[in-house]
Amino acid sequence: RELSEEEKQMIILSEDFQKFLDKSSRIIERALAESIDICADYTGTLDGDEG
């Protein structure tokens, strides 16, 4: 079922959602500010091959 506009607004304004959004935003900001590639695979197991 799809949420009503009122239900969506209640979620957006909830304290739990605000905390989640704040924490997630900070994590993304830090990740984007890093000079290294945070998505790089340093395990040596590219494409499922064992290194």
34-47 pLDDT, tens digit per residue, is 888 777 777 776 66
What angle do the packed helices 5-13 and 15-33 form, to 10 degrees?
Answer: 70
pLDDT band at 48 (very low <50, low <70, confident <90, very high): low
Query: What's 21-46 look like in SS3?
Result: HHHHHHHHHHHHHCCCCCCCCCCCCH
For 22, the token pair is 């704040």
Report whether pLDDT(50) > 60: no
Q: What is the pLDDT of residues 4-41, one digit of tens each?
A: 999 999 999 999 999 999 999 999 998 888 888 777 77
Q: Is the overall model pTM greater than 0.85, yes or no?
A: no
Looking at every residue in the chain, the average pLDDT score rounds to 86
